[in-house]
Amino acid sequence: MTAKAEAGRLRGFLQDLVEEQGRVQAADRLGVSERTLRRALASPQLTPHMTQALERELEASEARAASERRTPASLHKQLRRVERRLADLQRKTGGLLEELWEAGDDLEQIRMAVAPRVTGAKGHLGDIGLVAIEPAPDDAEVYGAALPVVAEWRRTRRTLEEPPNTVTCLQLEERLLSLEIQLVDDHSLTMPPAEAPWDQVRRETEVQLRQQRLRELRRERLWAEPLHWVGRLVTLGRWGGGLSLERQMQHEFEVRRSELLPPGVARRSGRGRNGGRSKAS
Task: Report pLDDT digits (tens) over 66-85.
Answer: 766 655 556 666 677 777 77
Task: Report pLDDT digits (tens) over 87-127.
Answer: 777 666 666 666 666 666 666 655 555 554 444 444 445 56
Whole-angstrom distance, CA of residue 39 vs CA of residue 22: 15
The boundaries of the domain holding residue 15 are 3-70
Count of beta carbons in the 10 Å neighbourhood of residue 133: 13
Percent of residues, the chain, with pLDDT higher than 70 = 61
User: Are 132 and 213 in the same domain?
Assistant: yes
Structural domain includes residue 190: yes
Q: What is the pLDDT of residue 119?
A: 41
Point out the domain boundary residue: 200, 218, 236: 218
Count of beta carbons in the 10 Å neighbourhood of residue 228: 15
Structural domain includes residue 20: yes
User: Are 58 and 135 in the same domain?
Assistant: no
Number of domains in the chain: 2
Question: What mean pLDDT do residues 32-36 have?
Answer: 87
Question: What mean pLDDT do residues 214-240 have?
Answer: 66
User: Are 139 and 209 in the same domain?
Assistant: yes
Structural domain includes residue 137: yes
Structural domain includes residue 107: no
Query: Is the bond preceding residue 48 a cis peptide, omega within 30 degrees?
Result: no
Burial class for 184, CB neighbours closer than 10 Å (0-12, 13-18, 19+)? buried
Please, are residues 157 and 176 in contact by the beta-carbon 8 Å criterion? yes
Q: Quick check: pTM over 0.85? A: no
Question: What mean pLDDT do residues 204-209 have?
Answer: 94
Q: What is the pLDDT of residue 181?
A: 96
Q: What is the pLDDT of residue 156?
A: 93
Structural domain includes residue 234: no
Q: Cα–Cα distances in Å, from 46 out to 43, 51, 160, 263? A: 7, 6, 103, 101
Structural domain includes residue 171: yes
